[in-house]
């Protein structure tokens, strides 16, 4: 496979040619190959007044790929048409949003799934393409769990019923976590059904259902129907409303293992959120096996990272903004430097920082008594839970990330 410099040069050369001599097919193949090689999660094509901006989201941050002047408005229209053809969307529709997906085969990487979103804007159609290639190769051990947390997750997924919930903001890797668990659970004798909006990855041997609001196929309606399909394991893309929450909890109570996600800041907030959605506290307490909180932080380039020792003043300042009861056992951390291997950024890919809250008898009593998320968190930490901040600081001390990354991602 070609390297970043040669791919970028080929893309710039193609974009600089007169429109009539540009192969849009070659152009899009180059864009997707470059995104794959740079490990970008998203490709942004954003039309402006006179030109079009192309950006890749790499390690959570957007950066420009080509000079804005290189992609003309005319080339942009051709590119949008090509994307629509590849993803089976309507080429004659320019005023309504469209969503689709496409699959590209690269010689050395195999097939790459790309999720497409086209949105009409003032200056033309905006295209966002999410590259879904790398995640399919993950195993649970690759997700960055500490040994104790990995054991809690393995224990929870071995249970034939109950709920496993992954929590965090958009883009924190929740779906990746759930799919990795599904891959671990996948066996010929087990029926797995998922309902998602949208379907993120194609998982062989499972039944995957796409939510469709136009036909009335909502999470809640789909989940009711799934229960009549004799599944062992159900994955619900997201619990958004009281109906979905109620059906999911009842499914977990009646002998199904239910995996889902919630948009909460940490693991402990899971329980008050479900109760706020109208699920009775005793049902929440008896069905949730584990709640996981997670974020993604940039991982330091292991070839050029450099050691740094915190001064007493820096350590004091860090402890002041850290959560209460936080202990920092070392002054030695690491910082980015930049080299050819990481493109001068000092970082390569991302790593998860996580917390896994196992529902113990004490936690159950707190849930039933409608205790606050803070009280539940304090009890969980007392019972041995490693918080996301503590996990992040451990990874920073190991040279996997930086203190600045932890503080950037976690707003305690």
The answer, yes or no, to whether the previous bond of 352 is cis (omega within 30 of 0) is no
Per-position DSSP letters for 153-181, written without gaps between them = HHHHHTSSSEEEEEE-STTSSHHHHHHHH
Instruction: Check residue 217 and report its DSSP letter.
Output: B
What is d(CA 352, CA 245) in angstroms, rounded to the nearest whole number?
A: 26
In sequence order, the 6+-apart residues with CB closer than 8 A to the CB of 222 are 195, 209, 211
Residue 104 has phi, psi (to 5 degrees) of: -120, 140
Q: What is the pLDDT of residues 76-104, one digit of tens each?
A: 999 999 999 999 999 999 999 998 888 88
In sequence order, the 6+-apart residues with CB closer than 8 A to the CB of 136 are 179, 201
Closest CA to 391 of 151, 139, 175, 149: 149
Question: Looking at residue 1, what is its pLDDT?
Answer: 62
Q: Is the pLDDT of residue 412 over 70?
A: no
What distances in angstroms separate CA 161 from CA 235, 246, 256, 336, one per listed residue? Answer: 12, 16, 5, 44
Within the chain, how many helices (H) and strands (E) appear?
14, 15
Helix H or strand E encompassing 289: strand 288-300
What is d(CA 134, CA 286) in angstroms, rounded to the nearest whole number?
A: 36
Q: What is the mean pLDDT of residues 247-276?
A: 95
pLDDT, greater one: 156 or 8: 156
Question: Looking at residue 39, what is its pLDDT?
Answer: 85
Q: What is the mean pLDDT of residues 4-22?
A: 86
Q: Is the pLDDT of residue 284 over 90?
A: yes
Q: What is the pLDDT of residues 288-346, one digit of tens each?
A: 999 999 999 999 999 999 999 998 888 888 888 777 767 788 889 999 998 888 878 89
Q: Cite the DSSP H helix spans in 38-170.
A: 73-86, 147-157
SS3 assignment, position 121 = strand
**Mean pLDDT (the chain, rounded):** 90
* pTM of the model as a whole: 0.84
Instruction: Check residue 95 and report its DSSP letter.
Output: S
Residue 193 has phi, psi (to 5 degrees) of: -125, 135
Q: What is the mean pLDDT of residues 375-384?
A: 94
pLDDT band at 237 (very low <50, low <70, confident <90, very high): very high
CB 384 within 8 A of CB 320: no
Per-position DSSP letters for 9-24, written without gaps between them = HHHHHHHHS-GGG--H
Q: What is the pLDDT of residues 26-67, one digit of tens each?
A: 999 899 999 988 889 899 999 988 788 999 998 888 989 887
């Amino acid at each position: 496979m070609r390297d970043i410099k040669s791919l970028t040069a080929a893309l710039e050369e193609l974009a600089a040619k007169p429109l009539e001599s540009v192969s849009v097919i070659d152009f899009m193949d180059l864009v997707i190959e470059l995104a794959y090689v740079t490990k970008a999660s998203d490709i942004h094509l954003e039309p402006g007044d006179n030109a079009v901006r192309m950006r890749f989201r790499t390690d959570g941050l957007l950066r420009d790929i080509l000079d804005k002047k290189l992609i003309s408005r005319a080339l942009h229209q051709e590119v949008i048409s090509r994307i629509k053809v590849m993803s089976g969307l309507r080429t004659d529709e320019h005023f309504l949003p469209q969503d689709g997906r496409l699959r590209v085969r690269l010689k050395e990487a195999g097939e790459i799934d790309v999720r497409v979103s086209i949105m009409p804007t003032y200056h033309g159609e905006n295209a966002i393409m999410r590259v879904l290639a790398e995640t399919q190769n993950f195993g649970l051990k690759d997700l960055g769990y500490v040994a104790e947390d990995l054991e809690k997750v393995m224990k929870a997924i071995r249970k034939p019923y109950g709920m496993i919930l992954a929590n965090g903001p958009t883009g924190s890797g929740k779906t990746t976590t759930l799919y990795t668990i599904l891959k671990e659970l996948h066996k010929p004798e087990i029926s797995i059904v998922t309902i998602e909006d949208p379907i993120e990855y194609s998982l062989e041997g499972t039944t995957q259902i796409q939510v469709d609001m136009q036909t009335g196929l909502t999470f809640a309606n789909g989940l009711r129907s799934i229960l009549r399909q004799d599944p062992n394991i159900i994955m619900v893309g997201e619990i958004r409303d009281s109906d979905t929450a109620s059906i999911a909890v009842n499914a977990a109570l009646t002998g199904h293992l239910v995996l889902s996600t919630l948009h909460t800041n940490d693991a402990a907030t899971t329980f008050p959120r479900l109760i706020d959605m109208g699920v009775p506290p005793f049902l929440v307490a008896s069905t949730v096996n584990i709640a996981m909180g997670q974020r993604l932080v940039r991982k330091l380039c292991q070839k050029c990272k450099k050691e740094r020792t915190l001064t007493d003043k820096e350590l004091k300042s860090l402890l002041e903004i850290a959560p209460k009861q936080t202990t920092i056992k070392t002054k030695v951390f690491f910082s980015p430097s930049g080299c050819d291997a990481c493109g001068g950024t000092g970082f390569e890919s991302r790593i998860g920082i996580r917390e896994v809250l196992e529902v113990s008898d004490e936690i159950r009593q707190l849930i039933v008594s409608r205790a606050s998320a803070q009280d539940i968190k304090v009890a969980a930490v007392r019972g041995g839970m490693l918080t996301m901040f503590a996990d992040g600081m451990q990874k920073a001390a190991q040279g996997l990330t930086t203190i600045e990354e932890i503080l950037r991602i976690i707003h305690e």
